[in-house]
Structure 1
Amino acid sequence: MVGIRKRGEDIRQFILNNVEHNPKDIVALTSRAYDISRQAVNKHIKRLVEKNALLERGATRNKRYILHPLVKWEHIYTLNGTLAEDAVWRGDISEFINDLPDNVIDIWHYGFTEILNNAIDHSSGTQVHIQITKTATTTEIVIYDDGEGIFKKIQRELELSDERHSVLELAKGKLTTDPDNHTGEGIFFSSRMFDDFAILSGSVCFSHKHDQVEDWILERQKFQSGTGVFMVLFNNTARTPKSVFDKFTSGDDYGFTKTVVPVRLTQYGHDNLVSRSQAKRLLAGVEKFETVIFDFDNVETIGQAFADEIFRVFKLQQPDMELIYLNSNEQVTQMITRALSRE
């Protein structure tokens, strides 16, 4: 009897985990996955609808299912110099999170307070809008401020070429426009803790998904004022803040010593990575780390000067630094190998 009950729980959890991306064919998908009839699947779905875990939309052949929001909450706060991220967490946010596992609460506590603090200290806005949507499988929190915009601010204060360059610097970690009060690590670690993390500002969107090594820059034609940060986390994830810190730190003091640099973010439009100036843009700030991993995913080709500047010239300047490359195709690997052979 216990085995039957456990199988039923597994089937219902499968439905919940997959319905978001398969709202119309979740019955067929579940039927194939567990080798059961569509009628049996429909019984499990009916139970989830009755428990308010799923919502049913449409009828007969147009029927689809979506996750039922267990929590839908939003509030606008005034950025008047007195707002404190820990007070907002304790007073308003934690009550929606406190029924989740301790490790999940810890991730939300870290990520929420880091991102809200950035809006309070750096946005130069007048208000911040916070939204929470919680379902049976995930929780999403959106924090939006009406300030200058994070990428535009970084571009202006660091005198960068454009907002895309701001995203590249942010992706490396340790970037801050206020070094006396901030380490610049909060956004980097927050982006690695969540299953889906995105920052939308101006005409640029920075995105990181937990199951992918690389970061993404997406450009929009429509301009977005202020800064919107979107964080999504599975309610039953086994991830912990410590497990994320351990990937990029070393020693008992948790020194932030390692970073992954998505090389693709250096490309503007259809430009190929061929010049030393492009390589120097990629290398800016990485001397703060002991280990730098260059991720060449989705980079089709690089030039000799680009490879030489990173893997010979820079390496000679930083002999104690460990430089690692991954996800390189045959052409890119050949260029890197040629540069290394000239050390």
Structure 2
Amino acid sequence: MTRLSFDHLTLWITAAASEHSHDLPGHVEERTGASRRAVLAALRRLTEAGWLKRSGSARRPVYGPGGLRQVARSYTLHGLQEDLPWQRDFAPHFDLPRHVERMIRHGFTELVNNAADHSGGSSVTVSLRQTPTHVQLLVSDDGIGVFDKICTAFSLEDPQHAMLELSKGRLTSSPDAHTGRGLFFSSQLADVFDIHANNTAYQRRAWESAGWRRGKALPRQGSSIYMAIALNTTRSLDAVMEAWSLAGDGIEFDQTRVQLRLLAGEGQPLDSRAQARRVGLRLTTFRRAEIDFEGVTDVGHGFTDELFRVFAKAHPQVELQPTNMTPRIAALVKSARAG
């Protein structure tokens, strides 16, 4: 007789409860091959744990999704249209605040589209979970890996440099078909955002001013991207987009932030012109760039001269706004600008 795995049941019981509310025991019995007794025991346990709600009479129970909800599905990437899985397989089974639903839908469709158009893989697995406090999305593909893809497309040598470019936004290897907004804005919408790809990981926490930092990588091929949003967040899709638009209307994505700690690492100096040129890479696609020195303890004359004099004079249309500088770094920047 088939044994029922509680963890496996949670992957599909939400959708089953929505679609088979009046005959859930029979559906689970037919789907799993387990005995009626085992199924009823499992449903009782799922109800007690918050995965199901039960109403109706003892002889004619009616089930529905509980406070805990989850749907996990896998798809072939070839020809996948990212809006259809959301509309058909996920959205009907969740109960989210409207502004949160809009943000997680944005992340869902953008991340699934990225997997379909950029990963070079054959399949993607998507899991969406709702708890009493958060909604959590995990999108995993079996492709080349996001950092390797960026390094190849932009002739970069290091996944750390790929993360630097990702963090700026407007990064795409297919400019004729994409604007490079999807992954960037998905990360800004989330309270927790993790990128894992081929033994490299970076994470962002909305409550930390430091922005992106190294994480503990998952040992797998391809990309896995996780985002979580608090159900009581005051954040909204419109507000996030407006924050990166100089006009404040969310139409243009024309300002960015460059985290210099992604270039050199925590506590490491920035002292070469080559490093400064990496900072300036693609900044001409923006009108304003915050150059964030948080975590950088020292810089060299060559770095500040290349960025704040050479680049600035060559591209006067780009406003460079340095922040979080030590007194010495501020003096070097001032000297370079006066040169």
Aligning the two structures, in what range does the TM-score lie when normalised by the shorter sequence?
0.7 to 0.9
Asked whether the 8 Å contact 1:138–1:235 carries over to 2, the reply is yes
Match for residue 241 of structure 1?
A: 237
Structural mapping, 1:40-119, within 5 Å: 52=50, 70-79=68-77, 81-97=78-94, 99-119=95-115
CA distance in 1 between counterparts of 2:265 and 2:49 reads 49
The verdict on how the C-alpha distance between 1:102 and 1:220 changes in structure 2, with shifts beyond 3 A counting, is closer
Pick the aligned partner of 2:274 from 274, 277, 282. Answer: 277
Q: Using the alignment, how far apart are the partners of 1:77 and 1:194 within structure 2?
A: 24
2:292 aligned partner: 295
**Separation in 1 of the partners of 2:290 and 2:266?**
23
Q: Deviations over 1:113-143 (max 9, x none)?
A: 0011000111111111112222110111100
Measure, in 2, the Cα distance between the counterparts of 1:270 and 1:302.
11
Amino acid in structure 1 at the alignment position of 2:75: Y
Report if aligned partners of 2:242, 2:250 keep a CA contact under 8 Å in 1. Answer: no
The answer to whether the 8 Å contact 2:197/2:217 transfers is no
Distance 1:243 1:269, change over 3 A: closer
**Cα distance per residue 1:211-261 (max 9 Å; x no partner):** 234432426577531000000000121111110011111445711110011
Shift of 1:180: 0.7
- Find the counterpart in structure 1 of residue 252 from structure 2: 255
1:145·1:227 contact (CA, 8 Å) conserved in 2?
A: yes
SS in structure 2 of the partner of residue 306 of structure 1: helix
Change (3 A) 1:250 1:272: closer
Code of the residue aligned with 1:75 in structure 2: it is R
Do the aligned partners of residues 70 and 221 (structure 1) sit closer, same or farther apart at CA in structure 2, a change above 3 Å counting? closer
- State the shift of 1:76 in Å: 1.5
- Deviation of 1:177 after TM superposition, in Å, equals 0.4
Task: Give structure 2 stretches of 5+ with no counterpart.
Answer: 1-46, 52-65
Letter in 2 for 1:109: R
Checking the alignment, whether the CA contact within 8 Å between 2:69 and 2:131 is kept in structure 1 is yes
2:298 maps to 1:309: no
Contact 1:204 1:217 in 2 (8 A): no
Instruction: Name the CA distance, whole Å, in 2 between partners of 1:78 and 1:241.
Output: 29
**How many corresponding residue pairs?**
278
Structure 2 equivalent of residue 44 of structure 1: none
Q: Secondary structure at 2:200's aligned position in 1?
A: strand
Between 249-258 and 135-144, the greater mean CA deviation after superposition: 249-258
TM-score, length basis structure 2:
0.77
Asked if structure 1 preserves the Cα contact closer than 8 Å seen for 2:194 and 2:225, the reply is yes
Contact 2:129 2:137 in 1 (8 A): yes
Superposition CA RMSD, Å: 2.3
Q: Is the 8 A contact 1:167 1:217 kept in 2?
A: no
Q: Alpha carbons of 1:133 and 1:222: their partners in 2 closer, same or farther (altered >3 Å)?
A: closer
Change in CA separation of 1:219 and 1:236 when aligned onto 2, cut-off 3 Å: closer
Structure 1 alignment gaps of length 5 or more: 1-48, 54-67
Question: CA, structure 1 residues 291+269, in 2 after alignment: closer, same or farther (shift >3 Å)?
Answer: closer
Q: Judging changes above 3 Å, is the alpha-carbon distance between structure 1 residues 336 and 199 closer, same or farther for their aligned structure 2 residues?
A: same
Structure 1 residues 122-201: aligned runs within 5 Å:
122-201=118-197
Amino acid at match of 1:182: H
Q: Give the Cα–Cα distance (whole angstroms) in 2 for the partners of residues 280 and 333 of structure 1.
A: 19
> Structure 1-normalised TM-score?
0.76
- Give the secondary-structure state (helix, strand or coil) at the position aligned to 2:222: strand
In 1, Cα distance between the equivalents of 2:111 and 2:75?
14
Confirm or deny: 8 A CA contact 1:69 1:133 kept in the other structure: no
Residue by residue over 1:82-118, the C-alpha shift from the partner in whole angstroms, topping out at 9 and shown as x without a partner, is 3211001101121243x22211111011111001100
Report the identity percentage: 34
Q: Distance in 1 between matches of 2:318 and 2:166?
A: 21
